[in-house]
Structure 1
């Protein structure tokens, strides 16, 4: 199985070139440094969730394009064995559980978060909706201007193409997040 860094590098190069953008232009549009894009394409970068989301949004592709490893039709992801991508700004990580097939635009993630920071997400591609099912702990989730307090078993959907947040309020908070682009 290919490493996460190698998957990100290959996908980033493929998507950037497919969009007809130079490394410099992609970096400028995504609001990140040219060195960061170059390192990621070289397989030496260690991207945060924020960096990958910025690049994905700029390229108009799902976040999963960078982390999916094209597993066979039957996929088992055992607890704590996936490849989490950490946040730079909050005690939060996202592990891709399954990516959408080419004809669909939805990805499923396992979120692990701890109190002590708010994961603020910039708007994703227009038409994105996020669905969250809180599994353990407690969290404030949803639109940045009106987050909702969730307890285990609570389900929430909200526009992912507007600013949104995820703030863990208890240790060991976990959630399943589905991101869908229509």
Structure 2
């Protein structure tokens, strides 16, 4: 079984799933490029396993296909799964300042996914609005998260949590000098 424990396996899973989803929906690379905003050449490279897509690119593809973020990373399931969280290969924004660990990716029989996230000092991760009904639940384990929602800013310190409707612009930012560690549950309603 392919797993999320190394970057090559993760990219292989993404490659296979993207190609499968595109063919199931009878989309050409041009069609998918048009609905996702990701170039045809980049999509082709991802499907062939020649490119390591960034978190932003994966979000664009998922939004265009109207699927959850981690549907692209789904693997076979078992009755019990024990995961050492940081043995999961992280997705990044192109640098190591933002790391997203898809601990429990979305699966069709569930409406949620669980992600561990690390933001280095000064890191920022912006996200476009998700589909209506999507909510994000964030539990901050260390550091202090600055969360931008449309025109409001929330400060979420260590030991606190926040829930919000994710069908609006949102941005995670680390204004401190220490790494922020948090857990995010994304519910697709």
Q: CA deviation at 1:90?
A: 8.2
Matched, 1:107 2:100: no
Q: CA deviation at 1:49?
A: 0.6
Name the residue aligned to 1:23: 29
Secondary structure at 2:113 match in 1: strand
Contact 2:55 2:93 in 1 (8 A): yes
Name the residue aligned to 2:6: none
User: What is the distance in 2 between the residues matched to 1:87 and 1:160?
Assistant: 20
Name the residue aligned to 1:94: 100
Q: Which of 5-14 and 67-76 deviates more? A: 67-76
Let me know the Cα RMSD of the aligned residues: 1.7
Change (3 A) 1:142 1:44: same
| Residues 151-176 of structure 1, C-alpha deviations (whole Å, 9 max, x = no match) | 11111011212110111233221000
User: What is the distance in 1 between the residues matched to 2:96 and 2:156?
Assistant: 18
The 5 Å alignment of 1:2-151 reads 2=2, 3-88=9-94, 91-151=97-157
Secondary structure at 1:147 match in 2: strand
Contact 1:137 1:169 in 2 (8 A): no
Change (3 A) 1:117 1:99: closer
Name the residue aligned to 1:177: 184
Unaligned 5+ runs, structure 1: none
Contact 1:130 1:177 in 2 (8 A): yes
Unaligned 5+ runs, structure 2: 3-8
Secondary structure at 1:11 match in 2: helix
User: What is the distance in 1 between the residues matched to 2:85 and 2:184?
Assistant: 15
Matched, 1:152 2:189: no
Number of equivalent positions: 182
